[in-house]
């Protein structure tokens, strides 16, 4: 059923019933029954045609506009049925930054350094795709960096380097398969910087709003001295520092370090016309904020799993909480605008990820930093096939917000959650899910 105003012509109304047998007599009967069932519906009857014929005749030709047709509905008649409020819903999934970069409160992109390093095959403008990752950062003998990060080498002396460790946990990485190694050979600094989505759109941060950051660090190399690291918020990639805190790590095992950064200047944002993956078009917003990590004393330091979120602010943006009172890792303002205030009664989570092997519910439980990234659909381009990286290793998905957080968000908004699961889940997996949700917590062994 639809109304069309085609290029200013008179609108016309089309109601149809379908019979795969093509029996036009049966179609006429169904049509009249349809009219009778809905009471006073006045519509001109036209000859019924087959599907193929209707494909050609669906739109009136420009030379002969369709005559006006009136449709009236008797709202006082006795309703035949009541539509469930569940008919009004919406959905969200990992594509198009709906979760990472959208709902998720994590501000950094590529937090566990899983994306391949830059190379001309993967991150150029070939085949009409906008460039992915940080521009103009090709690997060299001294810089080999995950593509969603850029190097800071302006004051690094010769012999300093940024290396990408590849090989999995725990030898090479704390989370996923990769981590970064910073080596400083003398006085100066060597570091890396993150500028948010796709290393291009920048970070927005607000004056006097605290931001909670966490990073996993490990001292490497031959030196036994603690390795000092400066954690900073900047205006522009290598520009003015607006907040900073120094930390140091002496352990040769992975150790989480927490910092809180409160900027004394806000970043600025404006529209950009640059093409952006995901059909965001010319209306994307670019900000000039950046987050950096810099090794500032001679030595070697490994870095992995970096996160930053705005600290909970009960006045400006009250956080969403689960039923136990824990703060959910989402942007409350985004959730409220998208799905709150009666905007939807049902909220579906999933989508195309159901066909991805890594989209398994058991991998979405536990602490965020211990959940391993998986290969999804985002950034899955034909160029993703270089060297040791297989086709989809540039389509890395974070598990920071998963199906269980999504259920918590829906419940906090008073919306019914609808969750889709991986097509490869077995009957035993789903039985485990029922036990996990409704069973005796003392018997859970997952």
Q: Which two tokens stand for residue 258?
A: 């927490």
CA angle, 165 then 171 then 172, to 5°: 15
Q: Which two tokens stand for residue 422?
A: 């991986």
Q: Which two tokens stand for residue 145?
A: 């960096």
Q: Detail the DSSP E strand segments found in 72-153.
A: 89-92, 150-152
Q: Do 279 and 202 lie in a common domain? A: yes
Residue range(s) defining the domain that contains residue 374: 90-103+329-443
Q: Tell me the CATH number at 222.
A: 2.60.120.260
Residue at 72 is within a domain: no
Q: Do 169 and 264 lie in a common domain? A: yes
Q: Do 371 and 298 lie in a common domain? A: no
- CA 41 distance to own-chain centroid: 46
Q: Do 334 and 304 lie in a common domain? A: no
- Count of CA atoms in the C-beta half-sphere (13 A) of 286: 14
Residue at 109 is within a domain: no
- Count of CA atoms in the C-beta half-sphere (13 A) of 403: 20
Q: Which two tokens stand for residue 430?
A: 């789903």
Q: Do 435 and 337 lie in a common domain? A: yes
- CA 368 distance to own-chain centroid: 15
CA angle, 49 then 50 then 54, to 5°: 70
Residue of 351, 438, 333, 345 lying closest to 403 (CA atoms): 351
Residue at 437 is within a domain: yes
The 3 state secondary structure assigned to 198-235 is HHCCCECCCCCCCEEEEEEEEEECCCCCCEEEEEEEEE
Q: Do 336 and 301 lie in a common domain? A: no
The residue to which tokens 């704390």 are assigned? 174
Q: At a CB cut-off of 8 Å and minimum separation 6, what does 152 contact?
A: 189, 190, 191, 192, 193, 237, 238, 292, 294
pLDDT one digit per residue (tens) for the chain, 446 residues: 333 333 333 333 333 333 444 444 443 444 344 344 444 444 344 443 444 444 444 444 455 777 888 888 887 888 888 888 777 788 888 776 788 888 899 999 889 998 877 654 444 444 344 455 676 566 677 888 888 898 988 778 888 999 999 877 778 899 988 999 999 998 889 999 999 887 778 898 988 789 999 999 999 977 777 889 999 999 877 788 999 999 999 999 999 999 999 999 999 888 765 554 444 445 567 888 999 999 999 999 999 999 999 998 756 678 899 988 999 999 998 898 888 877 788 888 888 788 888 889 999 998 889 998 887 766 544 445 444 444 445 567 788 888 899 999 999 999 999 999 999 999 999 999 999 988 776 665 55
Q: Do 364 and 301 lie in a common domain? A: no
Three-state SS at 256: strand
Angstrom distance (rounded) from CA 75 to CA 92:
35
* pLDDT for res 8: 36
How many domains are there within the chain?
Answer: 3
Residue at 168 is within a domain: yes
Q: Do 146 and 270 lie in a common domain? A: yes
Q: Do 194 and 341 lie in a common domain? A: no
CB 100 within 8 A of CB 397: yes
Residue at 336 is within a domain: yes
Residue at 7 is within a domain: yes
Angstrom distance (rounded) from CA 26 to CA 430:
44
Q: Do 49 and 177 lie in a common domain? A: no
Residue at 315 is within a domain: no
What is the model's pTM?
A: 0.76
Q: Do 206 and 301 lie in a common domain? A: yes
Residue at 83 is within a domain: no
Q: Do 353 and 401 lie in a common domain? A: yes
Angstrom distance (rounded) from CA 34 to CA 23:
16
Pairing label, strands 299-310, 211-220: antiparallel
The residue to which tokens 């569940």 are assigned? 86
């Amino acid at each position: 059923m639809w109304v069309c105003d085609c290029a200013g012509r008179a609108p016309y109304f089309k109601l149809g019933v379908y019979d795969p047998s093509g029996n036009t007599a049966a179609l006429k009967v169904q049509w009249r029954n349809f009219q009778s069932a809905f009471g006073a519906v006045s519509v001109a009857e036209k000859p019924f045609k087959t599907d193929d014929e209707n494909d050609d005749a669906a739109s009136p030709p420009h030379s002969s506009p369709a005559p006006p047709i009136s449709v009236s509905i008797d709202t006082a008649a006795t309703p035949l049925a009541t539509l469930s409020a569940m008919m009004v819903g919406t959905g969200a999934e990992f594509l198009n930054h709906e979760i990472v970069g959208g709902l998720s409160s994590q501000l950094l992109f590529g937090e566990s350094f899983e994306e391949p390093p830059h190379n001309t095959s993967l991150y150029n403008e070939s085949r009409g795709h906008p460039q992915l990752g940080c521009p103009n950062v090709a690997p060299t003998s001294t810089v080999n960096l995950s593509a969603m990060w850029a190097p800071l080498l302006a004051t690094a002396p010769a012999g300093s380097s940024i290396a990408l460790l590849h090989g999995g946990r725990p030898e090479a990485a704390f989370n996923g398969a990769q981590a970064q190694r910073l080596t400083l050979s003398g006085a100066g600094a060597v570091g890396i910087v993150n500028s948010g989505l796709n290393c291009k759109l920048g970070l927005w941060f607000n004056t006097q709003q605290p931001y909670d950051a966490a990073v996993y660090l490990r001292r490497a190399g031959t030196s036994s001295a603690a390795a000092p690291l400066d954690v900073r918020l900047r205006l522009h990639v290598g520009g003015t520092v607006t907040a900073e805190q120094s930390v140091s790590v002496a352990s040769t095992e992975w150790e989480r370090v927490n910092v809180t950064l409160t900027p004394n200047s806000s970043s600025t944002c404006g529209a950009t016309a640059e093409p952006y993956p995901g059909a965001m078009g010319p209306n994307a917003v670019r900000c000039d904020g950046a987050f950096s990590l810099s090794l500032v004393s001679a030595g070697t330091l490994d870095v992995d799993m970096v996160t930053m979120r705005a600290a909970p602010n009960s006045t400006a943006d009250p956080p969403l909480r689960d039923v136990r009172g824990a703060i959910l890792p989402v942007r409350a303002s985004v959730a409220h605008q998208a799905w709150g205030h009666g905007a939807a009664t049902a909220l579906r989570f999933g989508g195309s990820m159901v066909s991805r092997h890594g989209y398994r519910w058991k991998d979405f439980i536990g602490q965020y930093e211990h959940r391993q990234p998986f290969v999804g659909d985002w950034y899955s381009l034909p160029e993703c096939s270089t060297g040791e990286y297989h086709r989809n290793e540039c389509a890395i998905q974070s598990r920071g917000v998963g199906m269980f957080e999504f259920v918590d968000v829906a419940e906090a908004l008073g919306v019914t959650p609808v969750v889709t699961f991986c097509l490869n889940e077995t009957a035993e997996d789903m039985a485990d899910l029922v036990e996990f949700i409704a069973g005796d917590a003392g018997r859970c062994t997952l």
